[in-house]
Structure 1
């Protein structure tokens, strides 16, 4: 769902179950050419909020990217560019646990910030692809851990390649991993460096 751009309505006190999932769509092969960003806020295993913003990438749209996400130049003609929304995004994500499905979105946010002359966002990043690989190793070689396949395996409902929908899906992947392994969101921040079995109870 779309929402007018502004600061977060409420930043909760620290909650070890809480995180924000983020996803971006880009106008072309340049990872910094963000044309849509989506967010999904989770806490205590539940979806709290889910929204997306269109972004003017200040560059061209490739036919290949349009074919993936359906966003065209006309859709973003009156949207703000990254320089105009960076502060709002940074206020939302800084010092938070932030989930993205692969490192693509983290790279995109960094490149967009750099192009706008802004500092990179200092968040505690979690890669839901890596989490899924460790929580559901049986999927390796059997469809893999992309959102498209996890949608079927985990029974997720979302429209792929819409930033808001994909952010929500990435969050549900993490919640499914928490349920399957007993490893909390806070523990997943360090699980990449330890065997999953160490966290099981």
Structure 2
């Protein structure tokens, strides 16, 4: 029943641009210790990200860099089971460590979304987002605060362990086992229902380093459905790295503009760069 949960917020679509980190330590199935810090990403803040978490340049002007908070994080995560809800936070810490020339954490990672999908059948294909699960389980939290999100994810894992009788260590293995109920349509589309990003709908925009068809195949291997345009069903917009680099300026594709409009209206869409997306799926920047 012992584990640590980590959650981060980012300044812009680059996953390495961590501007807040929160850690919740659970011992014996109870919240034991918490720690959090603002982080100066040394990068620009995109208005969309600010609208989500409320953190801006002024708030982190005197905050430590990722390299400076890294030694404080290590005691919480080294040789521990470290949980995060969905693989984005895990990948963001990896990208931040790579940018700073630091070794990534030596721990056993556990995705609490994968745990939830295998614990509650009604959440196997949808409804396993942090906010939805918290509402289902009666967990109160302030969404998009890194520490609050980490605590909520930890409480979801405790509920799952209590419901199933499996420990956090058990779930490190169980979370990678196939779902019992797989929709046939996923197999017909060539989509991996057990992938890291199963349940997401991804749209690509901008100049990618690999052909669109190859990018779509990678996305399908990670569990994503592929959309041709940004709609109310879109959950991920993957932008070519060169285009991501220009986001601090004015140039954005029509898909990008549409995604930002939907985000402003409350739709849960994550915008990220192509290389971050590839690392998220376990591929080290193919075509680079």
- In the superposition, the TM-score normalised over structure 2's length comes to 0.60
Separation in 1 of the partners of 2:175 and 2:168?
12
Between 184-193 and 70-79, report the one with greater CA deviation: 184-193
Aligned counterpart in structure 2 of residue 173 of structure 1, from 125, 139, 156? 156
Deviation at residue 28 of structure 1 after TM alignment: 0.3
* TM-superposed deviation, 1:44: 1.1
Specify the alignment match of 2:10 in structure 1: 26
CA distance in 2, matches of 1:31, 1:67: 17
Off by >2 Å, runs of 4+ in structure 1: 192-197
What is the Cα deviation at residue 195 of structure 1? 6.6
Q: Deviations over 1:52-77 (max 9, x none)?
A: 11000000000000000000111111
In the alignment, which residue of structure 1 is the partner of 2:42?
58
Q: Structure 1: 5+ residue runs without aligned partners?
A: 1-16
Are the structure 2 counterparts of residues 94 and 158 from structure 1 closer, same or farther at C-alpha, using a change threshold of 3 Å? same
Q: How many residues align?
A: 180
Residue of structure 1 in register with 2:138 after alignment: 155
Larger RCO, structure (CA 8 Å, separation 6 or more): 1
Specify the alignment match of 1:67 in structure 2.
51
CA RMSD of aligned residues (A): 1.5
Q: 1:134 maps to which residue?
A: 118
Confirm or deny that 1:190 pairs with 2:144. no
Is 1:40 equivalent to 2:37 in the alignment?
A: no
Q: Deviations over 1:115-145 (max 9, x none)?
A: 111111111100000000000121245x510
Q: What is the distance in 2 between the residues matched to 1:51 and 1:90?
A: 12
> Does structure 1 conserve the Cα–Cα contact (< 8 Å) formed by 2:124 and 2:179?
no
Equivalent position SS for 2:4: strand
In the TM superposition, residue 92 of structure 1 has moved relative to its aligned partner by 2.2
